[in-house]
Amino acid sequence: MAKFSKIDTLDIIRNTGIVPVFCNNDVELTRKVVRACYDGGIRAFEFTNRGDGCHKVFDEVAAFVRKDCPGMALGAGTILDAHTASLYLQMGADFLVSPCMVEDVAALANRRGVSYSPGCGTVTEIVHAMELGCDLIKVFPAGTVGGPDFVKNVLAPLPWAMLMATGAVEPTEENLAAWARSGVTAVGMGSKLFPKEIIQAGDWDSISVLCRKCIGWFKA
């Protein structure tokens, strides 16, 4: 069962602004990455369903987050069908994310009172997602569909829309400032927040420091 209500989860994402996106089949390594992000001020984390057995890793990480990372919302990403969504919700996912709109997942999320962010790349897709009850819409792939300028142009006629840009988001002051100025509610960031050499070296402090900097750059 989700730890947070839909409203609480959306508040957490809005307040933090940065949502790390990560997947690994090593439970202990994933715990350390999540903890490093948490120590860096991150309070919303997306674990992606991108391989066989990912749900088993998520189950153990969810238990860890509930115990050792109070205040952190843990979401499940790359959700492409309602059956998979149900599985992750049973394991305590606080929110769901997809690379595209999956209407069955939207219906399930609404029934369960959980935030669902489908990937959208046009104004028509974004409006359709809102009509289906999605509050926070994932702009994806954000760099390909037009970057910060796309967000600005969408928010001109739809100022009430809440958008989360994922794709082409980088952990730099210049990049995050550009996304913040565009009006996005939050950004999702994957591998660039977790360089392979940092992960291999187990330099968790560096991840914490970078997360803290990213939050500051985005909010500033």
Does residue 82 belong to any structural domain of this protein?
yes
Strands 162-166 vs 136-139: parallel, antiparallel or unpaired: parallel
Does residue 167 belong to any structural domain of this protein?
yes
Does residue 191 belong to any structural domain of this protein?
yes
- 162 in the Ramachandran plot: left (φ > 0), alpha (ψ -120 to 50) or beta? beta
Average pLDDT over residues 8-17: 97
Enter the pTM of the model: 0.97
The two most distant CA atoms of the chain are separated, in Å, by 47
Residue 1 has pLDDT above 80, yes or no: no
Question: Of 76, 69, 73, whose CA–CA distance to 90 is shortest?
Answer: 76
Q: Where are the strands (E) in the chain, listed by range?
A: 18-22, 44-48, 73-77, 95-97, 115-117, 119-120, 136-139, 162-166, 186-189
Average pLDDT over residues 133-148: 97
Average pLDDT over residues 182-186: 98
Supply the CATH number for residue 140's domain. 3.20.20.70
Does residue 1 belong to any structural domain of this protein?
no
What value does the mean pLDDT of the chain take?
97
Average pLDDT over residues 184-213: 96
- CB atoms near residue 56 (< 10 Å): 12
Tell me the residue range of the domain where 53 lies.
6-219
Token reading at 41: 């001020």
* Total length of the chain: 220
pLDDT band at residue 2 under the 50/70/90 scheme: confident
pLDDT in tens, 73-96: 999 999 999 999 999 999 999 999
Does residue 134 belong to any structural domain of this protein?
yes
Which residues pair with residue 20 across a beta bridge? 189
- Domains in the chain, number: 1
Question: Order of strands across the sheet with 136-139?
Answer: 115-117, 95-97, 73-77, 44-48, 18-22, 186-189, 162-166, 136-139, 119-120
Q: What pLDDT does 161 receive?
A: 98
pLDDT band at residue 51 under the 50/70/90 scheme: confident
Average pLDDT over residues 149-176: 97
Non-local CB neighbours of 7 within 8 Å, separated by 6+ positions: none
